Amino acid sequence: MNAIEFILAGMLAAATPFLLAALGELVVERAGVLNLGVEGLMAFGAVIAFIIVYHGGGHILAFVAAGLCGSLLSLIFAGIILGFNANQVATGLAIGILGQGLSALFGKSYESLTVKALPKITIPGLSEIPVVGGLFTQDIVVWLSLLVTVAIWATFAYAKVGLVIRAVGENPKAAHAIGYPVIAVRFAAVAFGGMMAGFAGAYASTIYTPLWADGMIAGRGWIAIALVVFGTWLTGRIFLGACLFGAVSLMGLAAQATGLDVPSQLLACLPYLVTIVVLGIISADRRLLKLNGVASLGEPFER
C-alpha cells in the first residue's frame, strides 16, 4: 500500500471526529451562539463512551450516553449564556476546562486501557477499485456521519426548521418579533451541538483509537471550531475541510512509515500548522466570511 492509498483508506475515519463536532458547532453558530467548549464536550463524551464499552455496554449504548452527556454539559453553557446573558467566550472556555477536568477525573482509573473497535463494512465491488478502493471500507459510524452531513445540508437548504435556526442567528430581534422562540431555538441548537461533540468524542475513544488517555482529544475540538470558519458556515465545505484534516493527521503516520527523515514533533504539529495557515488564507477574504457568516454570532439576545 503506498502513501496515497494509505491516506485515502484512513481519511474518512480520521475525518469523522472533526466532521461530527464541526457539524454540531455549525448548527450552534447558525443559531447565533459561539460555543468554544467543544474540546471539553468531546473529551467528556470520549471518556463516558470508553467506560461503557470497557465494561461491556456496547457501542450503541456508549454513543447514546456520550451524546446525552455532551448535551447535558452544553445545556449548562446554554443556561448561563441564554439565561444570564453571560459572555459567550468566557463561558465556552469554562465549559471546555470543566469538560476536560471531568474527563480526566472519570478516566483516571482507565488510563491507557484499550477496547475493541467496530468491524469495517465493505461495499462489494467499489472497494476493489485500485487506489481509491479503501474509501469504501469503513465502519458503520463513518457511513452514518455521511448521512448526517447530507441531512444537515438538506435541513438548512430546504426544511423550515433550518430557516428558523438561520433567522434566529441572523436577526434574533426580527425572529422574535414574528413569533419564533429565539431562546428555545438557541437552547435546542446548543444541545444538538453538545450531542454531536459527545458523538465525536465517543468515536475518537472507542473506534478511531480505541483507548483512553488524558488529553487524547488533542485539540480536535478546537480544529472543529476552526473548520466551521474554513467551511464559511456551509455544510459541504465543512465536509471537505474535515477530509483535509483527516488526511493531514494521517500524513504524519504515512511519512513515518515511509521512513522520511523529519522530526516526529513536526509531523505532530501538522494539523495545528495547517489550521493556522488555512485560517489565515480563508479569513483574509473578508467578503467570503461576510457572505455566509452569521450576523449576530456571539451576541446576546435581549428582549
Partner 1 sequence: MSRPVFAALPTLVRRERASLAATLLAPPIALAVTIILNLGLYVVMGRDPAAVIYAMLIEPFYSWASFSEVLLKTGPLLLIAQGLAIGFRAKVFNIGAEGQFLLGAIFASAIPIWWPDATGQWIWPAMLLLGMIGGALWASLTAFWRVRLNANEILVSLMLSFVAAQLLNYLLLGPWKDPNGFNFPQSVMFQYDAMVPILFEGTRVNVSLILAGILSIAAWIFMQKSFVGYRLQVGGLAPRAASYAGFKESWAIWLSLLIGGAAAGLAGSAEVAGPLGQLQRSISTGYGYAAIIVAYLGGLHPIGIVISSIVMAALYIGGDNAMVSANLPIAAVRVFQGSLLLIYLIAVAFVRYRLAWRPAAIRSPS
Which residues, 6+ apart, have CB-to-CB distance to 44 below 8 Å? Answer: 66, 69, 70, 73, 99, 100, 102, 103, 198, 201
| Window 107-146: contact mask with partner 1 (x via CB under 8 A) | -x--------------------------------------
User: Residue 218 or residue 234: which is nearer to partner 1 going by CB?
Assistant: 218
Q: Determine contact, residues 69/47, Cβ cutoff 8 Å.
A: no
- What is the grid cell recorded at 246? 483527516
Which stretch in 22-30, 57-65, 129-137, 269-277 sits in contact with partner 1 by CB under 8 A?
A: 269-277
Q: What is the dihedral of CA 206, 208, 211, 213, to 10 degrees?
A: -110
In the bound complex, what is the minimum distance in angstroms from residue 22's beta carbon to partner 1? 13
Is 286 a binding residue for partner 1 by CB under 8 A? The answer is: yes
Whether 13 contacts 208, CB under 8 Å: yes
CA gyration radius, the chain: 19
218 binds partner 1 (CB under 8 A): yes
The CA distances from residue 297 to 35, 194, 275, 294, in Å, are 10, 17, 21, 5
Among residues 12, 36, 64, 69, the one that binds partner 1 under rule CB under 8 A: 36
Among 116, 140, 143, 219, binds partner 1 (CB under 8 A): 219
Q: In angstroms, what CA-CA distances link 289 with 10, 24, 155, 278?
A: 31, 19, 21, 13
- Give the integer Cα–Cα distance in Å for 101 and 296: 31
3-state DSSP percent of the chain in helix, strand and coil, to 5: 75, 5, 25
Query: Which is nearer to partner 1, 76 or 243 (by Cβ)?
Result: 76
Distances (CA, A) of 41 to 12, 73, 166, 220: 22, 7, 24, 11
The size of the interface with partner 1 (CB under 8 A), counted in residues, is 53
The answer to whether 253 contacts partner 1 (rule: CB under 8 A) is: no
One residue of 117, 118, 146, 289 binding partner 1 per CB under 8 A: 289
* Cβ 273 to partner 1 shortest distance, Å: 6
Pick from 138, 118, 122, 112: nearest CA to 207: 118
Is 179 one of the binding residues for partner 1 (CB under 8 A)?
yes
Site for partner 1 in 221-240 (CB under 8 A): 222-223, 225-226, 229
8 A C-beta contact, residue 223 and residue 278:
no
Closest CA to 209 of 50, 37, 18, 6: 50
Under rule CB under 8 A, residue 101 binds partner 1: yes
> Could you say which residues in the range 65-94 bind partner 1, by CB under 8 A?
76, 80, 83-87, 89-91, 93-94
Q: Would you count residue 303 as binding partner 1 (CB under 8 A)?
A: yes
Residue from the set 17, 24, 40, 172 that interacts with partner 1 by CB under 8 A: 40
**Interaction of residue 58 with partner 1, rule CB under 8 A:** no
List interacting residues with partner 1 (CB under 8 A): 36, 40, 76, 80, 83-87, 89-91, 93-102, 104-105, 108, 177, 179, 214, 218-219, 222-223, 225-226, 229, 263, 265-266, 268-269, 272-273, 275-276, 279-281, 283-284, 286, 289, 302-303
